[in-house]
Structure 1
Amino acid sequence: MTISGFADWLETPQGRYVLDWELARHDQIVADIFGFNAIQLGLPQLDYLRANRMPFRFSSDDRADVSPVAVRATPLQLPFATNSIDLVVLPHALEFEDNPHQVLREVERVLVPEGSVVVTGFNPFSLWGARRRLARRTLPPPWRGQYISVPRLKDWFALLGFETRAGAFGCYAPPARQEKWLRRWDFMERAGDRWWPFAGGVYVLQAIKRVHGMRLIMPTWTDRKARARALVAPVTQKKADSQ
């Protein structure tokens, strides 16, 4: 599977409806996650880390022109040391990977103890999920992705030692193509949060890497900052060399 074309779909009224909700929820979640290094895997044209205040923020594509530093990376093989990243955001990255569980394994490897991962995905148990089941395989994104349910994602988190921390569902309106119809269904946003909160078309879920039985002794602020700079230096150099 491929995420090719998904960014173009996000420019449509249907896609913008989803994107506006996702960015707003990411702003709420990542603003209160602290550390030194954060990376966004997927959709490098957009900045899901815009509300985060970490000094070093990366995007996993060297063509990106947004605020995070751009690096060449794939979700299955990240160019970062073990226990070196404080935050990883995965906007729809799992849905277009053949082995999404392995992606989470790689995320677990690079995250520091108590580091966070934030996953965005389409909810298969929603009107959007029903639309995907009726779609032909030849249709463009977002209907080609493999939708991963929140219960399944929580099971994967638990197997990898993550603890689910926060999350939200949104986009309760039917997946109409035209903006006027999306506006007419606007009342479902308020009703959905109250009456059927688990039926939103998309979700955002945060989990924290726990290391049981280990006492976490954090280095001093100066030491951590020095390590963070050491991490970002070779990445920035590679970017400069490629230009």
Structure 2
Amino acid sequence: MKSIHITKLSKMPNSWEDIPGGKYYLIALNKQLQPWWPKILGDHLLKIGQLSLQVDTQSSLITHQFSMNISGNNFQLLGNPNEMPFGDKSIDACLLIQQLSYSINPHCLLYEVNRILVDDGWLILSNFNPFSLLGIVKYIPFLCKKEPYRCRMFSTYRQLDWLSLLSYEILYQQSFQIIPWISPNNFINKNIQFIGCINLIIARKRTLPFTPTPTKFIKSFMEICNKVEVIKC
């Protein structure tokens, strides 16, 4: 995995309202997640970052929901998401909304989230799509320094590749909200989604329950082969 660590990055917006069309992004994101909350079970739901905090999780069956960020006043826990103060396999679901786009080291963040997630834990990941209207505007000189165009944008394929290396099973993937500044219920945003401005991925952490070992049959077969070789010699 090629490192994409950088030393300087634009600061994440304090809320969706600080992003042009942000309220529509949030409405569309909540609409996509609504059918999934009853399926996501567990004891602890962690929201990382300012934009994750504003996602509506009232329909979730997980009772203990808390948030974490490196700074801010509305978070239950302050700390570096790349070095979270949780034990291994202690969180059942993690909400990572637009966090990779503003992370200095996205790989480190994903590895840390993978560390704290329990086996079969849920990862809800969203980011801005470079193959969308936002990706085009990003190359316009007088707009590229404004939100959300100045943040990094990772393609769906690239994110899926990262998750595959960590052995995640992809349960849902969708791009939505083609035109940022209009309602998600608009005909275009509602019916054409493959080049939407936001990518959403819902995945589960899959791990083998034990280390594969040779069966007794294979061991016996290998012993017989060794004896045959000795006789031939």
TM range (shorter): 0.7 to 0.9
Q: What is the RMSD computed on CA atoms of the aligned residues?
A: 2.4
Letter in 2 for 1:31: P
In structure 2, which of residues 34, 40, 48 is the aligned counterpart of residue 41 of structure 1?
Answer: 48
Letter in 2 for 1:208: R
Match of 2:27? 20
Tell me the SS of whatever aligns to 1:167: strand
Match of 2:65? 57
Q: TM-score, normalised by structure 1?
A: 0.74
Tell me the SS of whatever aligns to 1:76: helix
Q: TM-score, normalised by structure 2?
A: 0.77
Match of 1:228? none
Match of 2:13? 5
Distance change >3 Å, CA 83–CA 138, structure 1 → 2: same
Asked whether the 8 Å contact 2:137–2:144 carries over to 1, the reply is no
Distance change >3 Å, CA 79–CA 157, structure 1 → 2: same
Asked whether the 8 Å contact 1:10–1:19 carries over to 2, the reply is no
> Structure 2 matches for 1:75-224, cutoff 5 A?
75-136=81-142, 139-173=145-179, 175-176=180-181, 182=182, 186-192=186-192, 197-214=193-210
Partner Cα distance (1:186, 1:135) in 2? 29
Segments of 5+ residues of structure 1 without an aligned counterpart are 177-181, 216-243
Segments of 5+ residues of structure 2 without an aligned counterpart are 1-8, 212-233
Asked whether the 8 Å contact 1:117–1:208 carries over to 2, the reply is yes
Q: CA deviation at 1:137?
A: 7.6
Letter in 2 for 1:206: I
Aligned length: 200
The higher-RCO structure (CA 8 Å, 6+ apart) is 1
Partner Cα distance (1:200, 1:101) in 2? 24
Q: CA deviation at 1:23?
A: 1.9
Asked whether the 8 Å contact 1:60–1:73 carries over to 2, the reply is yes
Asked whether the 8 Å contact 1:135–1:143 carries over to 2, the reply is no
CA deviation vs aligned residue, 1:176-196 (integer Å, no higher than 9, x gap): 5xxxxx36x93212341xxxx
Letter in 1 for 2:68: S
Partner Cα distance (1:73, 1:137) in 2? 32
Match of 1:70? 76
Tell me the SS of whatever aligns to 2:88: coil
CA deviation vs aligned residue, 1:98-132 (integer Å, no higher than 9, x gap): 21111110010000000010001111111121112
Distance change >3 Å, CA 99–CA 63, structure 1 → 2: closer
